[in-house]
Amino acid sequence: MKEAYSTYESRRSFINQSKLYLGVSQAIFIFLFLLSVVSSVEIDMKENFDQEETLITKISGNFLDNIQFENIFFYRGHVRVPILYDVAKINNEFYIYALLSQRQDNYSLVIKNVRYYSGSKITDDNLIQNFSISNQTADFSVYPGFMVTDEDFFLKIQNLQDNSITVNVNMGTTINDSGGFFSSFLEEEAEEGEQTITLLSGEIKKIFFSIENFNQSTFEIIELSTGNLKYEIPVYIFGLGRGVGGEECTPNCTNKECGDDGCGGSCGTCDFGSCINRECVIKEILDFSPSEINTILPTNNNETRIIYLYNLGQEDLKDIFLSVSKDLESSVFLSTEKIEKLDAGSNIEIELFIFSEEEVQIGGEIIAEANGEESSLPVELNFLKDYEPLDEKDMYETTTKTCSEIGGVICSLNEECEGELVNAKDDKCCLGNCKEIQKSSTGKIIGWAIVALVVILLIWFLKTRYKGAKKPVDLLKIGSSKR
């Protein structure tokens, strides 16, 4: 009898241990699977920003396609918003910067149509990084948010506060051949080696950086900071290619399409575009947002759309001429045909007036040209009789006045409008008073009830699975009771 009981106990113990090991194995497999998916692409970016702060993010992963300007989108909720931004590849990582708006809300950065490895699989699923803009204003903004160059360059900073601020400048940690760091000076003062910069309220200054002492290609971080905010600006410098200290230099053109060979020679030139990070890239200094227009419109209806033209270069552009291609001339009209000046790191709003009496499908482009630089915006229009468009036109705001200009106020996330709510250029505009939303405790009660239910189900699952079967029959006690 004892032997039978011992055998039974051994089997029961073996079965329970097998179940436990199986459960642990499943948990480990799921964990490793999720880890491979999550770690396939890493987006190094803050979750919270202040108003008008410069967003800077680094994206790492095993990409089959380069992230280009046209792959990047910014959304407020589900509505696409125009933001000045740019992207560059530096040391096999991608950097994106964007000049954020004044609007407090929840946003997302979305990267589309780019192939990358997720574990062992290739996917082109959208990469999405959510972030928010607070109700506070950043100390200052900086443009651009990164730099890839073989020439002297500048960073433009602006004080966003009502009072004067002091910005500290840390010009990198790599000592060049001359025993120094970057040399820099302000546009107005032309003083070398400036380490702090004082800005009056709203003031803009440029910090110029000289790279004449960098003989070899170098990756550096320039820090700009106040007590409340710090920017780390990635800078990749193509050096002049001379060997360090006069030492013999061996040219290296491995995996290089163009640019220096590290010894004063060249690995080739680009037939089209510019050589950036030793790759031939067609990079437009002038860029439109949105990057394309493809929409359906009703006939016999005057439509107004807003587009934005950005200057992503290091120079102010003058005399920018705008035009539409021949196929669009009868239906698309621009609010202006010439922009007198567009500062580096700024944008300008352009209105499109669209009209057609006939049902017709037309395509063409809007063209901007200045100083030999040209950019085009593809346009596809389909005019249909009695067509009723959606509320969201082209996923962009189409009004031309701000909320303050029409005498309204923008309610915050925890407020609701007591009055008429209308569209404005900068956001939904309340033509009345903003009232704080009274939070109900019902949601909390339901939430805690769901949590409690999940905990109970989890405890029940663990008990039934790992603590196993009912208490076994004690054969010894049954035998002794019959005596």
In angstroms, the CA 303 to CA 69 distance is 28
What is the average per-residue pLDDT within 106-130?
Answer: 91
Q: Taking the CA of residue 221 as centre, how many other CA atoms within 13 Å lie in the half-sphere pointing to its CB?
A: 9
Q: For residue 64, tell me if it sits in a domain.
A: yes
Mean pLDDT confidence for 268-275: 57
- The rounded percent of the chain whose pLDDT value lies above 90 is 29
Report if residue 269 sits inside a domain. Answer: no
Q: Return the C-alpha torsion angle 446, 452, 453, 455, nearest 10.
A: 150
Neighbour tally for 175: CB within 10 Å: 10
Residue 24's CB is within 10 A of a number of other CB atoms, namely: 10
Structural domain includes residue 279: no
Q: How many CB atoms lie within 10 A of CB 62?
A: 12
Q: Are residues 297 and 363 in the same domain?
A: yes
Q: How many CA atoms lie within 13 A of 121 on its CB side?
A: 8
Residues 295 and 358 in one domain: yes
Q: How confident is the model at residue 97 (pLDDT cuts 50, 70, 90)?
A: very high
Residue 247 lies in a domain: no
Highest mean pLDDT among 27-31, 370-374, 444-448: 370-374
Q: What is the reported pLDDT for 409?
A: 77
Share of the chain above pLDDT 70, in %: 66
Query: 368 and 324: one domain?
Result: yes
SS (H, E, C) the chain: CHHHHHHHHHHHHHHHHHHHHHHHHHHHHHHHHHHHHHCCEEEECCCEEEECCEEEEEEEECECCCCCHHHEEEEECCEECCCEEEEEEECCEEEEEEECCCCCEEEEEEECCCCEEECCEEECCCEEEEEEEEEEECCEEEECCCEEECCCEEEEEEECCCCCEEEEEECCCCCCCCCCCCEEEECCCCCCCCCEEEECCCCEEEEEEECCCCCCCEEEEEEEECCCCEEEEEEEECCCCCCHHHCCCCCCCCCCCCCECCCCCECCCCCCCEEECCEEECCCCEEEECCCEEEEEECCCCEEEEEEEEECCCCCEEEEEEEECHHHCCCEEECCCEEEEECCCEEEEEEEEECCCCCEEEEEEEEEEECCEEEEEEEEEEEECCCCCCCCCCCCCCCCCCCCCCCCECCCCCEEEEEEEEECCCCEEEEEEEEECCCCCHHHHHHHHHHHHHHHHHHHHHHHHHCCCCCCCCHHHHHHHCC
Instruction: Answer yes or no: do 294 and 365 share one domain.
Output: yes
Within 10 A of 483 (CB to CB), how many other CB atoms are there? Answer: 4
Name every residue whose Cβ is closer than 8 Å to that of residue 83 and which is 6 or more positions away in sequence.
Answer: 74, 98, 99, 100, 101, 289
| Statement to judge: residues 357 and 416 lie in one domain | no
Largest CA distance in the chain: 113
pLDDT in tens, 392-425: 444 444 445 667 666 677 777 667 787 766 666 5
307: nearest Cα among 286, 283, 326, 284: 286
The span from the CA of 188 to the CA of 168, in Å, is 17
Cα 293 from Cα 127, distance rounded (Å): 23
Per-residue pLDDT band at 332 (split at 50, 70, 90): very high
Q: Are residues 16 and 76 in the same domain?
A: no
Out of 70-74, 172-176, 233-237, 405-409, least confident range: 172-176
Residue 161 to residue 150: CA distance in whole angstroms: 34
Q: Are residues 379 and 298 in the same domain?
A: yes
Angle between helix 442-466 and helix 2-38 axes, rounded to 10 deg: 140
Number of domains in the chain: 4
**359, 300 contact by CB (below 8 A):** no
* 358 within a domain of the structure (yes/no): yes
Domain span at residue 80?
Answer: 40-133
Same-domain check for residues 411 and 376 = no
Q: Answer whether 424's CB lies under 8 Å from 336's CB.
A: no
- Among residues 109, 133, 157, the one where a domain terminates is 133
Between the alpha carbon of residue 467 and those of residues 79, 151, 471, the distances in Å are: 52, 70, 10
Who has greater pLDDT, 420 or 18?
420
- The CATH number of the domain where 343 resides is what? 2.60.40.10
The pTM for the full model equals: 0.60
- For residues 311 and 378, membership in a common domain is answered with yes
Query: CATH number, domain at 97?
Result: 2.60.40.1930
Residue 165 — pLDDT band, cuts 50, 70, 90?
very high
Would you state the pLDDT for residue 211?
77
Domain presence at residue 183: no
Same domain for 28 and 93? no
Residues 429 and 343 in one domain: no
Q: Show the tokens assigned to 24.
A: 């642990």
Structure-token pair, residue 352: 């499109």
Judge whether 246 lies within some domain: no
Whether residue 66 is found in the same domain as residue 122: yes
Give the position of tokens 């399409």: 257
Please tell me the distance from the alpha carbon of residue 426 to that of residue 125, in angstroms, as a whole number. Answer: 31
Q: Which of 104, 133, 162 is the last residue of a domain?
A: 133
127 assigned to some structural domain: yes
